[in-house]
Amino acid sequence: MTTSPYESLVHAISDASLIGASASILSWDQETMMPEQGVELRSRQMAQLARLSHEALTKPAIGHLLSSSESSAEVKECPRRAASVREMRRDYERSSKLPARLVEQLARVASTAQHEWAIARKNSDFKHFLPHLNQLVELNREQADCLGIPEGGERWDALADGYEPGCRAAHVEQVFLPLRVRLQKLLDEVRGSKVSPSDRFNQTKFALEGQRSLMRFAAESLGFDFARGRLDESSHPFCGGSHCRDVRMTTRYKESCVNDALGSTIHESGHGMYEQGLPFQHFGTPLGQAVSLGIHESQSRLWENQVGRSESFWRWIAPNLASHLGNVADGFSSAELYGAANLVEAGFIRVESDEATYNMHIMVRFELERALIGGSLDPKDLPEVWNAKYKEYLGLTVPEDRVGCLQDVHWSMGAFGYFPTYTLGTLYAAQFFEAARKAIPGLDEGFAKGEFKPLLVWLNENIHVHGRQFLSGELCERVTGSPLSAEPFMRHLEGKIRPLYQLV
Amino acid sequence: MTTSPYESLVHAISDASLIGASASILSWDQETMMPEQGVELRSRQMAQLARLSHEALTKPAIGHLLSSSESSAEVKECPRRAASVREMRRDYERSSKLPARLVEQLARVASTAQHEWAIARKNSDFKHFLPHLNQLVELNREQADCLGIPEGGERWDALADGYEPGCRAAHVEQVFLPLRVRLQKLLDEVRGSKVSPSDRFNQTKFALEGQRSLMRFAAESLGFDFARGRLDESSHPFCGGSHCRDVRMTTRYKESCVNDALGSTIHESGHGMYEQGLPFQHFGTPLGQAVSLGIHESQSRLWENQVGRSESFWRWIAPNLASHLGNVADGFSSAELYGAANLVEAGFIRVESDEATYNMHIMVRFELERALIGGSLDPKDLPEVWNAKYKEYLGLTVPEDRVGCLQDVHWSMGAFGYFPTYTLGTLYAAQFFEAARKAIPGLDEGFAKGEFKPLLVWLNENIHVHGRQFLSGELCERVTGSPLSAEPFMRHLEGKIRPLYQLV
């Protein structure tokens, strides 16, 4: 039996991805399980695995197999295989531009920096984090230069392209600017309103044990499969893991606000269900991978907002709360709970923010990381500029860096160019959900009965199963019939906020 | 600055070990955290890391560096370095004899087999495990042939040498036979005794939450450092992890017997404190590794038996029980608890057995694995022969394979030649402890006051800190002044059992 070039290529790429899958478990372990003193050698482990994975992905044999696959009939005549090879070529070219030394160094510095960031955040001590941030910005600028700045573009673009293929800062700015104007207008109206939903539920303390049990119940009910995944705790919620049968997501808890943990859990469950929906037989190759971070965020934001903040979701979950949280939870009507989940209030923390202010948080981060990578912002000035932006966009005075520029994990992971995908994902989410509503009769009414499966199946079939066969723009047109637009999101948001705040 | 051959060697070996350290975390994860459906790809991950680690350990550059180090003055003139190079040479020769294919295959089969073993054990279904056992025995026989059977020795020896350098079945038999006779005699006397300690404590149920809290308290009090390690749960207790700052141990719980979890926890803490006592600066090289499994077991058995089953230990822990287990625990005197921890009763489960019967369990396993690897026992006949041996040695009729030949994880991990190290360790433990008693005035009385640190420091300084500088026999003579003997163990055992059972 002879093996075709395409088969050999698939085998080699999947084997190289396997190293990344192992690194991913170690990375999860570092955030959730590792004893504190493990960090020094863990950074060396992460660097080593990054180097080994980079070596495996860029070895010359892959280049040869790519060329022979590209010209083979079995690839040319099959759109799925052709798409897979197209994406493998993209990954290969990108990886080949990065020297092994830089890959290893970035992984080592990021692993250490994440640890130090967690300490800095806890103590609200930006100076503790600054040397690591300096290194990360420097290495990322170098990485961008190795990758090559696209024509007419800027350094940030080279990094963003790794998270969202084709993403450009100039384009992001064009999407963000008018969106901000519309959101600002809505926020002003909300501020002027005389009515507001009750936040009594958000002020009620619930024991963490009950919250933990509720989170598992919620994730499982929405469709996250615990035979193929876990839910743990970390200082910043995330979704990682090795592959579609081993998905690791985390959340975090505060006694004082169960909606924080619930929002994070549903958000990460959206990521987790996307991962679990990818085809196992294509593990490690583009047909078994997520399209982009924008599409990934579309899944998490869709479950978090279109589902988890819907009136019908709260009708379903309200009578289920007491068995986890105790009888106090019975004192809230589903209408009150729905209101509490949709309170509009400018706050400091992105992952706890409402749908109306969320994108403002993203816009601040986008502008700042663009400036950091572009070189116009010195990392040491980050807190000052961060705080000024929060004043300008959200009218808030940041009291300490813990709830300011130290709140997010991303930069400490060395991830620059990532943040805008949250807003892109938010827009995709609303657009996808409008399509799902058209396709599935009684979708919302089903939520009220705990029927989330039809939505998950629709997402599985229309988005997950394709892996990276289609780029995000193409996928959006296939699924919704139109290119990405902010209209569905604004329809969704205004349709919810205007009645709640009795705006005309 | 130039790097000497020895420095380059140390760097290369420590880098190769780092891959094993990552594999070790994944292996821990598989037993404690991994969702059930993760196993298929996890086996591929384990196989891949085994191959990468083997590749790194056997690459020709290491051979060259070994040769130039061996002849260099900086090594010849330093006994520690010379010992380190001697051990690196041993590892290199051993690894080089194994083809990469076999290493990879063993890791893959073992990872799957461990998973299937856990299922087989749960359902007491030996047939479910048999195909995996067949494969593992076959691969281990092949491994032994690759390694080479020592002159005048047998296949089993080649495997045992990997766990206990120089270990030979014929020698083990010579130690075991007279020991069995003496133990048999003691057991007969115990059976004939009209008195017996109360087992009321072992019959009392305690909620698992309280047990978990007690285990952490016990491990921490003995000296296990939770900033450099964890305690979790798995179907079979073990101690793994990456290095001395990231040690992962597990235990298991039964409501009906807190002493099961306690014994396992103290045993694994002994392993864990050995690992934590190895010098961090020598990570991944012989000077930062444990001598052998026999010496490793000496540490676990010493804490489990010489400490955890001592009268003074129970005087210390008795008044501490209620705060974890609830007030019911206050109804036991330290004398009654001490008796309950030292009940002699032939049972089916090795890890739950008392000190007098423990070695009988090991002898059964030794004889059976020797026969499996030697070829005189067909794996399919294992349950029958196992049950016959338990009848002969312990007078027990095994009711089901779950508590018979399926109880231990080792063979499913592909570990043959490992079991005798438990008895060797038990003998070393008693001999080391007699030396510690001489060196530390008031040692036992200190336990009653919760003072375990002097013992840990003594073990650190006399055993842990040396890494693999001395082979086990040499270490034993250095620490105790004599070669290994069964006398200290028999003194320890008889000195405890005779008074408890009022034997003359």
Q: Which helix or strand (DSSP H or E) is residue A142 part of? A: helix A126-147
Please tell me if residue A226 touches chain B, with a CB cutoff of 8 Å: yes
Q: Could you say which of A22, A33, A226 has the minimum Cβ distance to residue B26? A: A22
B154 pLDDT more than 90: yes
From the list B293, B275, B297, B296, the residue with the least C-alpha distance to B167 is B293
Please tell me if residue B22 touches chain A, with a CB cutoff of 8 Å: yes
Mean pLDDT of A432-440: 98
What percentage of chain B reaches a pLDDT higher than 90? 98
Please, which residues have CB within 8 angstroms of residue A278's CB and are 6 or more apart in sequence? Answer: A243, A244, A288, A289, A290, A464, A465, A467
Q: How many residues does chain A have?
A: 504
Please tell me if residue B42 touches chain A, with a CB cutoff of 8 Å: yes
Contact assessment for residue A343 and residue A199, using Cβ atoms and an 8 Å cutoff: yes
Could you say which of B31, B87, B116, B268 is catalytic? B268
Could you say which of A268, A297, A311, A434 is catalytic? A268
Q: Inter-chain contact B245–A35, Cβ cutoff 8 Å?
A: yes
Please state the pTM of the whole predicted model: 0.94
Q: ∠A239-A243-A247 over CA atoms, to 5°?
A: 35
Q: Inter-chain contact B26–A21, Cβ cutoff 8 Å?
A: no
Mean pLDDT of B131-154: 97
Question: CA-CA distance, B152 to A400, in Å (whole number)?
Answer: 74
Contact assessment for residue B489 and residue B427, using Cβ atoms and an 8 Å cutoff: yes
Residues B334 and B426 in one domain: yes
Number of domains in chain A: 2
Nearest-10 crossing angle of helices B420-439, B169-192: 70
Output the CA–CA distances (angstroms, integers) from residue B227 to A38, A115, A375, A409, B244, in the order listed.
Answer: 8, 14, 39, 23, 11
Residues A102 and A182 in one domain: no
Average pLDDT, chain A: 96
| Number of CB pairs, chain A paired with chain B, less than 8 A apart | 94
Q: Could you say which of B25, B52, B283 has the minimum Cβ distance to residue A26? A: B25
Please tell me if residue B25 touches chain A, with a CB cutoff of 8 Å: yes
Q: Look at residue A2 in the predicted model and tell me its pLDDT.
A: 80
Residue B223 domain-assigned (yes or no):
yes
Amino acid at A196: S
Amino acid at A374: G
Q: Look at residue A1 in the predicted model and tell me its pLDDT.
A: 62
Q: At which of B94, B115, B148 does a domain end?
A: B148
The Cα of B170 is separated from the nearest Cα of chain A by a number of Å equal to 41
How many CB atoms neighbour CB B256 within 10 A?
11
pLDDT tens digits, residue range A236-248? 899 999 899 999 9
From the list A69, A135, A124, A137, the residue with the least C-alpha distance to A371 is A137
pLDDT tens digits, residue range A149-196? 999 999 999 999 999 999 999 999 999 999 999 999 999 999 999 999
The Cα of B337 is separated from the nearest Cα of chain A by a number of Å equal to 33
Question: CA-CA distance, B422 to A475, in Å (whole number)?
Answer: 60
What residues does A240 pair with on adjacent strands?
A: A248
Residues A181 and A91 in one domain: no
Q: Inter-chain contact A228–B34, Cβ cutoff 8 Å?
A: no
Residue A251 domain-assigned (yes or no):
no
What percentage of chain B reaches a pLDDT higher than 70? 100
Q: Inter-chain contact B18–A48, Cβ cutoff 8 Å?
A: yes
Nearest-10 crossing angle of helices A126-147, A382-394: 90
Band (A393; pLDDT cuts 50, 70, 90): very high
Contact assessment for residue A447 and residue A320, using Cβ atoms and an 8 Å cutoff: no
Closest-CA residue of B relative to A47 is B18
Question: CA-CA distance, A385 to A379, in Å (whole number)?
Answer: 10
Q: Inter-chain contact A42–B243, Cβ cutoff 8 Å?
A: no
Residues B98 and B195 in one domain: no
Query: Domain holding A389: CATH number?
Result: 1.10.1370.30
Please tell me if residue B243 touches chain A, with a CB cutoff of 8 Å: yes
Residue B157 domain-assigned (yes or no):
no
Question: CA-CA distance, A243 to A411, in Å (whole number)?
Answer: 24
Contacts of A40 in chain B (CB under 8 A): 245
Tokens found for residue B258? 């807190």
Residue B163 domain-assigned (yes or no):
no
Q: Inter-chain contact A25–B21, Cβ cutoff 8 Å?
A: no
Please tell me if residue B279 touches chain A, with a CB cutoff of 8 Å: no
B395 pLDDT more than 90: yes
Question: CA-CA distance, A111 to A126, in Å (whole number)?
Answer: 18
Q: Could you say which of A21, A22, A38 has the minimum Cβ distance to residue B245? A: A38
Sign of the C-alpha dihedral computed for residues B57, B61, B67 and B71 taken in this order: negative
Mean pLDDT of B391-398: 96
Neighbouring C-alpha atoms within 13 Å toward the C-beta of B109: 22
Q: Look at residue B500 in the predicted model and tell me its pLDDT.
A: 97
Contacts of A245 in chain B (CB under 8 A): 35, 37-38, 40-41
DSSP assignment letter at A4: -
B368 pLDDT more than 70: yes
The Cα of A417 is separated from the nearest Cα of chain B by a number of Å equal to 29
Q: At which of B113, B148, B183 does a domain end?
A: B148
Q: Look at residue B263 in the predicted model and tell me its pLDDT.
A: 96
pLDDT tens digits, residue range A330-380? 999 999 999 999 999 999 999 889 999 999 999 999 999 999 999 999 999
Output the CA–CA distances (angstroms, integers) from residue B261 to A435, B255, B317, B402, in the order listed.
Answer: 55, 10, 15, 18
Question: CA-CA distance, A90 to A165, in Å (whole number)?
Answer: 9
Band (A504; pLDDT cuts 50, 70, 90): confident
Tokens found for residue A328? 């106090």
Q: Inter-chain contact B230–A25, Cβ cutoff 8 Å?
A: no
Residue B154 domain-assigned (yes or no):
no
From the list A368, A373, A342, the residue with the least C-alpha distance to A355 is A342
Residues A337 and A452 in one domain: yes
What residues does A467 pair with on adjacent strands?
A: none
Question: CA-CA distance, B324 to B358, in Å (whole number)?
Answer: 29
The Cα of A267 is separated from the nearest Cα of chain B by a number of Å equal to 20
Closest-CA residue of B relative to A283 is B41
Output the CA–CA distances (angstroms, integers) from residue B320 to B213, B333, B448, in the order listed.
Answer: 11, 12, 12
Closest-CA residue of A relative to B23 is A22
Residues A60 and A173 in one domain: no
Q: Could you say which of B21, B227, B247 has the minimum Cβ distance to residue A36? A: B227
Please tell me if residue B242 touches chain A, with a CB cutoff of 8 Å: yes
The Cα of A346 is separated from the nearest Cα of chain B by a number of Å equal to 38
Contact assessment for residue A222 and residue A456, using Cβ atoms and an 8 Å cutoff: yes
Q: At which of B148, B180, B200 does a domain end?
A: B148
Helix (H, G, I), strand (E, B) or coil at B351: helix
Q: Inter-chain contact B246–A49, Cβ cutoff 8 Å?
A: no
Residues A306 and A442 in one domain: yes
Please tell me if residue B2 touches chain A, with a CB cutoff of 8 Å: no
Residues A45 and A187 in one domain: no
User: Which of A:136-175 have CB within 8 Å of B?
Assistant: none
Please tell me if residue A52 touches chain B, with a CB cutoff of 8 Å: yes
Residue A276 domain-assigned (yes or no):
no
Question: Which residue, among A14, A29, A119, would best test binding to B if mutated, counting the most B CBs under 10 Å from its CB?
Answer: A29
Question: CA-CA distance, B325 to B323, in Å (whole number)?
Answer: 6
Q: Look at residue A493 in the predicted model and tell me its pLDDT.
A: 98
Residue A254 domain-assigned (yes or no):
no
Q: Look at residue B2 in the predicted model and tell me its pLDDT.
A: 80
Question: CA-CA distance, B151 to A395, in Å (whole number)?
Answer: 83
Q: Inter-chain contact B37–A230, Cβ cutoff 8 Å?
A: no
B445 burial via Cβ count (<10 Å: 0-12, 13-18, 19+): exposed
Residues B271 and B414 in one domain: yes
Residues A325 and A377 in one domain: yes
Beta-strand relationship, A229-233 and B239-243? unpaired
From the list A319, A321, A374, A334, the residue with the least C-alpha distance to A169 is A374
Active site residue B31: no
Residue A264 domain-assigned (yes or no):
no
A451 burial via Cβ count (<10 Å: 0-12, 13-18, 19+): middle
DSSP assignment letter at B244: T
B170 pLDDT more than 80: yes
Question: CA-CA distance, A233 to A222, in Å (whole number)?
Answer: 19
B331 burial via Cβ count (<10 Å: 0-12, 13-18, 19+): exposed
Closest-CA residue of B relative to A225 is B35
Question: CA-CA distance, B116 to A286, in Å (whole number)?
Answer: 31
Residues A190 and A58 in one domain: no
Question: CA-CA distance, B122 to A284, in Å (whole number)?
Answer: 33
Question: Which residue, among B15, B29, B228, B249, would best test binding to A if mutated, counting the most A CBs under 10 Å from its CB?
Answer: B29
Q: Inter-chain contact B229–A29, Cβ cutoff 8 Å?
A: no
Contact assessment for residue B114 and residue B413, using Cβ atoms and an 8 Å cutoff: yes
Mean pLDDT of B460-485: 97
Please, which residues have CB within 8 angstroms of residue A16's CB and are 6 or more apart in sequence? Answer: A53, A56, A57, A62, A284
A456 pLDDT more than 80: yes
Contact assessment for residue A163 and residue A173, using Cβ atoms and an 8 Å cutoff: no
Average pLDDT, chain B: 96
What residues does A269 pair with on adjacent strands?
A: none
Tell me the DSSP string of B455-488: HHHHHHHHTGGGTTSS-HHHHHHHHHSS---SHH
Please tell me if residue A228 touches chain B, with a CB cutoff of 8 Å: yes
Domain that holds residue B109: 5-148
The Cα of B17 is separated from the nearest Cα of chain A by a number of Å equal to 10
B178 pLDDT more than 90: yes
Q: Inter-chain contact B37–A228, Cβ cutoff 8 Å?
A: yes
Whole-angstrom distance between the N-terminal and C-terminal Cα of chain B? 71
Question: CA-CA distance, B206 to B369, in Å (whole number)?
Answer: 37
B1 pLDDT more than 70: no
Residues B138 and B247 in one domain: no
Please tell me if residue B51 touches chain A, with a CB cutoff of 8 Å: no
Output the CA–CA distances (angstroms, integers) from residue A289 to A67, A107, A299, in the order listed.
Answer: 22, 21, 14
Closest-CA residue of B relative to A19 is B45
Q: Inter-chain contact A228–B38, Cβ cutoff 8 Å?
A: yes
Please tell me if residue A44 touches chain B, with a CB cutoff of 8 Å: yes
